[in-house]
Each structure stands twice: as C-alpha cells, then as structure tokens.
Chains A and B, each alone.
Chain A
Amino acid sequence: MKTKKKILFLALPALVTLLTVFIIPMIYTFIEGIATDKLDFYIKFCTDPFYLSILGNTAILSVKTTVLCLILGYPTAYFLARTQSKIKSALLIATIFPFLISAVVRAYGWMVLLGSNGLVNHFLMAVGLVDEPVKIMYTEKAVMIGLTQLLLPYMILSIMSVIQSIDSNLEDAASSLGANPLTTFLKVIFPLSAPGVVSGCTLVFTLSMTSYVTPRLLGGAQYLTVSTFIYSQVKTAFNMPFANAISYVLVFAILLFQVFSNSANHYVSKKVGGV
C-alpha cells in the first residue's frame, strides 16, 4: 500500500500539469458552454444532416485510413520483427524517420504529387491510363493518402513490438505439426499479434479522427473533417459557441471509441494470456 502511494507520487508532476493546463480548462469551457447556451448548439449539430455528415465522413475516413495502415503496416511489422538482416536497425530508423519531418511539410509534398498538374497525374496521362487529370487533391483520397503516410509508423511500431515478443519456435512448431505458412499465420501469429493490432488501430484511428494539418491542406474547404470544420467556425464564421460544442462532440465520440477499444484490448490480451 505504501509503495503504491509512493509510485503515485512519481506521476504527480505530470498529473498537476495536465490538470491545470488541460483538464480544468476543458471542464470549464464545457460547463460554460452549457450554462450560457444550454444544449442549443449540440442540438443544432445533431439535427442537421450536413453537420452530421461531416462527423460521419471523418469517421469513415479514419476507418479507411486505419484499414489501409493495417494492410500496409502488418507485413512490414512482421518483416522488421523477424528479419535477421544486418541493416535491421537502419530499416527501423527509416520507419520512424518521417517523424522528423513536420506534417505541414509532408502535406505540401503531397500537394506537389497529387495536384491536377502534379507528378501522379503527369504519369497517369503519360502512360495513357487517363485522358484528363484525375481529381485527387481536395478529396477524401488525398487526405487518406496523407494521413496513411503520416500514421503508418504508429501501426508498424505497435504491431512489430508484439510480434517480436512471439517466440519464433511457435511458427516452427506449427509447421512441424502440419500447418502451411498461411495456416500458421491465421491460427498462431495473427491471434497472438492481436494486442498489437488493436493498439495500432486505436492509435491510428484516434489520430486521424483528430488530425488537423493534413485534412486542412489536402482536403481544403471542399473536403471537411470535424477538426477543419471547427477551425472554419472559429476563423470564418466567428461562431465560437458552436465551435466549442462541436469540439465536445468530437471529444465524446473519441471517448466512446476509447471505451470500445479498451474492452477489445482487454479481451484479446486475456485471450492470448497477456503476451
């Protein structure tokens, strides 16, 4: 009991900082909003199909980004976890290297590539796949591409760390028992890596739900997500109370998701014995 208290003491500086600069102001603005406008702005948001469609689109975008990151990230994570290559550490650094470049710079990079006059369209037209430029910029596609590139390392690192902890003898054991590589993956590796998949998906989904820079630059005013819409309410509509209300809609949506992902995490961890 005494040691438990002592350990809590270690968390105190961070706790105090978070409380004073983050949690207390948040509770304050939430209560202030309700006190002055009651639930008016919440009702406004929840009854208008346009506003709801922004929330829905953001959620769909985030799911798509998460799935794309999982598809691209899983094989990479498996390779990085299992490779005996001498350049393994170099590959690992390459994985987290994008973190060194700001999201703004990367978004501008994508603008160069994805614009109607960009490299991708030049290439598509040169090989004759399309006759006129495809519209990628300022659509869901552009934002999804940008977010996937931004968030892929989180997925790779989450899954990789779990796969590294799976005894490679288990794969040999499955194989000696007659399981081909696909069966070994489906029955042994994937179930055991599930905790990493859950935490990777949670991270990527949450981060893409709340991301601002990438959708702002690649989606512009034509493709709105919740966070860019909040910004437009603050900067162009000057409707602070509404922006405040939408912020809390987003916060609660994410809290709800966290509750769901926590129980998913709990379930898979229990299933694989806390590996």
Chain B
Amino acid sequence: MESSERDQEEATSESAKKLQEYEATVAQQNAIQEEIKKAQPLVGKAVSPSALSPEYTDNVKPGFLKGIEYLSKRYARLRPVRGDGNCFYRALTFALLENLVLKLRSGDAAAAQAAKAEAQRLVDKGKPMKESCQTLLSLGYEEVSFDMFSAELLEALEGIETTTPESLEAKFNEDGGSGEYIMWFCRLLTSAFIKSHPSRFESFLIGDTVDTFCAREVEPLGVECEQLQIIALCEQLDIGVRIEYLNGEDFDASKGLDAVPVNMDGRQEAAAELLFRPGHYDILYTA
C-alpha cells in the first residue's frame, strides 16, 4: 500500500501545481476585494454629480461628460456605493430607508405621515416582511437560513422614526454589519419573487430554471444584477424606482438622459432614484 501511495504522491505534482494556481486565483480575487474595501466605503458621502467628471475626462465616448453635466443640473447630489457586485441591492435598500428617514425629519407633517405609513406598510400588510417570509417558507427555504436577515430589515423599518441619516449611514458602513444583512435579504426577496412567478421569467432564462438562475445569479453575494432582478425586487417590495442610464452614448441634451421607470405605474414617487453606469449603481438625490 505504501508504494502505491508514493506513486500517487509523485503523480500528484501536477495536482500540486493546480492547487497553487487555484490558491493564487483565490488570493488574487481576495486582494481585489480588499482593495475595493479600502478604496470605497460601503455607502459613501453624498457629493455633487459633477464629482464623477474626472473619471471620464479621457473617455472617448462623448456621452459621459455631457451626461454628467446634465445630471449635475437635474440632481443635487450623488451618493457613491461600493462597487463589489452588491451595489444595486445596497443602493436600493439604503435609499429606500433614507428616503423614509428624511421625510420623517423634513418638518412636513404630510410627508412624515406618508413615510410612517409606508414603513408600516412594508412591515405589516405589505409583501416584504410577513408575506415574503411566508413565500420563502413555502418555497422551501428554512427559517433559520433567513431569519436573522429578515429581522434586520424589520428592525430597521420598525425603528425608522428614531433613525437619523447619520445612524443609517453608520449601520450600512459596518463590514458584515446590519446593512449587509438587509442587502442580502433583498437578494432573497428577489429570488422569492422570481421563484413564485416562474412563468413570467422562464422565457428570459436561457438554459436555466428559476431555481438554478436564482442560485447562481441572485442569491450569492457579489453577483451583479440585471434588469430582471431589479423588476423582481421592486415588485416584491411593491415599490417603484427610477434609474438614469449613463452609458456614454450621445444624447439630446435638451431632452436629457432617459430616466427609466421600474414598476412606477400608478405611482408618483420613486422609492429610490439611482444612477447606472456600466457595471455599477449609485444613489441620486433631487434635493
């Protein structure tokens, strides 16, 4: 037995190389993630949209600088979000909660009342919490697998009246913290909607079932989202968002960029205004 083992040991020198390659790849991926962590807060401070210009001064596409100029007129501020593949989910959840906080503290009684009602809707009879958790259980998810995550979103919504913009920022800036739990729960809510409406989505999933698609493209952290996930999450939360697309294409400056509404039918206000640039989402503010 010992000699056969030695043969095997020698024959695995190729395997040793493979292991090294594999470990090097993992180490490199980790190093990239670490760099991103150091360079970008999870949720940054709001700045003027014109702060994006330096990134594009040498860009050959004419639409970027022109688009940033347009955005600077249309929007007061832009909040950068860490580009680690989770940016859409993080931008949406942060903006959704921050909008409620800002309205509650705006001094406008009607707006505050509306925000309170919206938070209550999300907690209570709305889809996200109780109904969503029921959906997840009926889809076969075990409570233990999402309980701590749904609890964070629930707690954020129930505590919205005592939340300040600063405490919300702090909550979302802790690595592995509460904001990250809320962000991942929104991935799970996205999955819940897609899986409970398979006929609506299956024709878009080439070679995938809703289950395999969600396991690969929705639930793992760090996987970027596409239009399909955005629609699913908005419908699950029963909210609408507006997304500006800054992709470098030239456009008619008098008309502006196309702010694309998602699930905005019958709504006046978007729960979040977002900016898309290829591969990335940030938050926009009109005021």
Chain A bound to chain B = no
Which of A's residues lie within 8 Å of B, judged by CB?
none
